[in-house]
Structure 1
């Protein structure tokens, strides 16, 4: 199982105490960090907890630290945990016995209610002793892949602060706290833990529980401007300059460009030579396929079975890791297509193309354009007009951002879909016979702007392409059969009759019911099967089964093979309805080939709230060796099958309004 990322993000501009100068860009910094984690590193929203301004009180921060991190049953060993803070830092003289090592100073991050009076005294900031104890406890519970990022400072003593520099410095003096307040505000169990003594406050060089990134050296100022704190701005800019998946914390600090004289970021901790975030978010992206030099051209491990045709285009990259800098080295155009691979050449002969790399499709070059009819409405005329400008008319050839040929037609009778924008939704009416015969005729997608609308149309075109894609020669016709049966939950065996009749099955909605697919190969060929679920409601294409690289053919000649054994990579199928649905339909699409082909390129994530059958098969790791290339003279075949599955709510079930 791939490691994941969990984050607690804190940003405070407005402080409760009138004695503390408010800041201007900490909240924006926190939201920008969240956006980076979600958009670039693909961290799910529910794995990120954000506390801003009055929501970031001392109690709230400590409570969320427990609930979101320490006690979170979803976090497993190896997962990355990030604690980010943007706000004021502070320090004051330490009381006797502080940290059990007679430290001279106490450093602290300042929550929203810092120094305000409560019944027990005054609220102390979350001190260095507390933070070290908290992260030590987290490390013991969940592992040491922990990153603490502090965009603030604690003792800007080298220069005298005037009113202007004070306004842009993330530091506030603390004068009203006494020793009792500091001890009363300690994290639970801190008294039993002695923090390292190889440094001052947060600057502990030998900490084993976590790595700390600080905005500046002791005595320097952590500065902010309108666009954000200098540390945060530099960190977010680094992702566009540095390949993070092979960059250590220490290297990252050396590469950071802080546009502020006198501020030098610092990284401390015993694991500072570890790859950023332990490498957890930097997993292979299955939308990339490998390439290698074959004589004068490049061989791409994607062919007719993937939907590649002559004229398809790919961008060439150095690696296949998502969330890390990966610039385009060349644009490749396919000129020769085989069942599971193709040959391509750079469009620009001067372009740099390595002997091996990774390619991502940018233009499918579908032979038949996808036809779209735009319905005009008075309430959304502007959005309709912008979308119209993005879609070429029939007489022009063009490709939208998804790389599909999509043309606009004037009549619904000529279209694959009709699109109408209204009430913050995109209404997509399908005219395709296969879909309308078995699925709801209209689906709705939340709409933001015309660019998002165009992406939804791209998704519909991609779904349509893979749904109808087939080998016109039908080389395996009548040689392969596909059955769908229920599974007994105890014995894990298929029970009852085959539910597919002429490629269709109607299933009653029963929670917890499991199904398996049985394939029979009547041919003399050894075959590799790939099974996908195509959910027409949200245009989702999810992998149900893909064989492992380098494995022998799972479906040998004259044999049967079951998908849904309960083993890793062969989980059972389940079909569900959302509470508001009375019925739903989708398609099981089976691809077959006589040699192995990575098929993650077919997958497509949801545009709406839709539930795929199961989690997608993990993409091929960057360093996984692929099977030996098929000789150009060897005989390869591919074919496909399709089955429509309709799920119907039983009459006695209540449908929520």
Structure 2
């Protein structure tokens, strides 16, 4: 392992085997041992100073003790500098309870971690409702993490070896880290209100995002524990699975460990921390867990050991472990090799077409896409190249998208400019294929010289009704900068034209825009929002089905949310983007939290965006430019299987650097009908 200095890590490590009020068959065996092993790894392997690691075991990990230690050891710790790495590890029981209606949970439930002194009426504890000690819900945890994020930055790793659904004891060697009190009273809506309100008062009142010069804005990043922005979450399993305790590999009868923590530590010990990202670590964890699970099933066939799929969530998954730098593999696609026929599988978004895929530097090999589907492709060695050994964690990059071209007509006065030859060469070498149209041919874009620079006029037929104004590329830009901006425009148009010609589920997917109002209290670390009284009014006005442009009024004081619905036969993964014609930026408004988790857009349910528990913030509609109106497009992309299209996002083309280039590959196996996908668009015009 490369030599790195991790002396600035601060950690809170919690492990609970013995619960004060639970029956003996509810107690765990390996949670404290797992937590102690994690602490040992931090101290002995990473050489984290002992004062930086705070451990709470068994009766130390009370509800009050966990919350107070979180704030005192981490949030209020003056020794922790901004962006220092922070790790929170919990091993113990989790639970799932019905959420108060005021919390607007998308599935009506809330997840909790259970402290050592949690009430449990199915045992010997029979407190009155007002004295009942609930677990710590994700709403409270989210507020604590959000406060930590505000104070110390976003270099935060949360690790949970517990689960929130399923049954409890599975046998003498296999237990689930889940405990549910079916006699528990309802969770009060104001539970931990002092914590979430305290955090919300520290949050800034709001900020704009880069869509349309704040045409659409949102509040500061949400604080719930599943927020995509504030931290990276490593979890033991899907929410429909069990986090299991299994026999230790040493084979002793009494020793137990969490399958997830065992796989986590094995992966950390084997990988190079200097080059491994969270996503790369999770791939190793999942491989270890699969092997370890198979071994346990073989050792203990009489115990009903279940499948367990560790999870990684958060938009910082491509960062190097415990750092703010991104891995070199960011923007690349991982290969999965089929050793039987020397082919490779990639799980990639739409836009992988039959053609060549190579590395931009010194490639190990050149691969050809021989079988192409909507969300995956099969790559093979070309006949002209010998078959060579490819490392297990190799990546590919797409060098050219050949399925779509952008037609550009360039005025002859621009073609004679001394820098144009270099601009054209740079554009021809980028991913998007450029066709240089002749004056007599149709074109998507027209470049016209003016006294102020180069005017970019859009003539694409599908955009006529939006009527976007021409874009000006100011005079004096270098060849590299001019090529970069034009490349950003090509990227914008390439992704905007995505569609499924068959539209298999277009009529079974819905997206509404509704007005929100301030909720009765504070939640998720900021002011809560709920649907307004007129929330039955769809501000898109049915434009999703008619293709017309929705007319929106600029009002920076109002807040809005989206509602996604699904009446198809499948649960779906969903992404929402906003394409802004003012500056050619593309903003991600929603993406699934995990590549291997359950599809969040459930059949017959509503997925809220901008309120509730979806991990997103309210939108605001604001036209603060000099123009009378601004235009843009909402894109809803849905797929039966997870794909990574997060690299679509781009900042303004006038920004110094275009961001959002993560391209991550999920290890989720292909399921029946996994190639079902569709794209829906809503054009909007925002008037003063």
**TM-score w.r.t. length of structure 1:** 0.49
Relative CO higher for 1 or 2, CA cutoff 8 Å, sep ≥ 6? 2
Higher gyration radius (CA): 1
